[in-house]
Amino acid sequence: MEEDMQLVENLVAETARALSFLSRIRIPDRYFVGHDGSLRRTVAAFPLAGFVIAMPAALIVYALSALTVEPVLTALVAISLQIMLTGALHEDGLSDTADGLSGGRNRDKALAIMKDSRIGTYGALALILSVTIRVAALSILVRELPPQSAALVFVTAAVLSRTLMVWHWSFLPSARSEGIAASAGKPDPDAVRIAFALGAVITATLCLLSLPFHAWFVAVALGLAATVIFTRHVRQRIDGHTGDTIGASQQVSEIAFLLALAMIV
């Protein structure tokens, strides 16, 4: 019993640290006392952090959908709130990755562009397409699904995408010797397995509560496939991950999941 309680306490602490890293949600200082700042174990809680981060926007989806507010407006408000809660962390990674991988002719040039805080044409287009596609896909889901199902789908996308972030992070070595991803450390194998287990269980449970089997199976498969293809492309171009590509992997998987569902329902 004591061991189980300790495991729960550890998971709660790691979830708090994951929320601090992945969002703008304020976390009490007690969760960081004696912590070295590494995320090697914290990645285990990324799926749970995704669940918590998505809940406020999911409640907006449920409430506005139940009130029969225009689906496009409901989706735009929900996506906007999500972006504010995360501080556009993942969107920033997507933008920098698009600029670097599309504008850099070689590995060193790509990494230099990704480190530059200025946004280029490819990055701007990536941001526009990311927000537009997610708003369009979510608005279709709000229109076609009951309010509860639409809200649960939104949470599912957040959980699945943050689980696949861990896969991208753990599959590739660090492309730089310094930076956020390098200083955070390589994910601990046990923590990675916990993240995968939690992500699979939460994703499957939420999908079973909200979607027909064929719909969620295809959507999850396409989300995974998109992440695998993106990860392989990153490996070919820069031979490793960066903090930007980790954030971009979340965007890629979330977009693929929501887009697939919008075309199926």
pLDDT digits (tens, 9 = 90+) for 2-11: 666 777 888 8
The confidence score (pLDDT) of residue 80 equals 97
Cα(76)–Cα(74) distance, integer angstroms: 6
Cα(177)–Cα(208) distance, integer angstroms: 42
- The alpha-carbon radius of gyration of the chain (Å, integer) is 18
The confidence score (pLDDT) of residue 182 equals 63
Q: Give the total number of structural domains in the chain.
A: 1
Domain that holds residue 70: 2-264
pLDDT digits (tens, 9 = 90+) for 154-163: 999 999 999 9
pLDDT digits (tens, 9 = 90+) for 69-84: 999 999 999 999 999 9
* Residue 105 pLDDT > 90: no
Please indicate whether residue 193 or residue 183 has the higher confidence score (pLDDT).
193
| Alpha carbon 11 to its chain's center | 19
Range of lowest pLDDT (24-33, 118-127, 237-246) = 24-33
For 241, which DSSP code? B
For 178, which DSSP code? S
pLDDT band at 179 (very low <50, low <70, confident <90, very high): low
* Nearest-10 Cα torsion for 155, 161, 121, 140: -40
Residues 205-241 as b or e (16 or more Cβ within 10 Å = b):
ebbeebbeeebbeebbebbbebbbebbeebbebbebb
pLDDT band at 211 (very low <50, low <70, confident <90, very high): very high
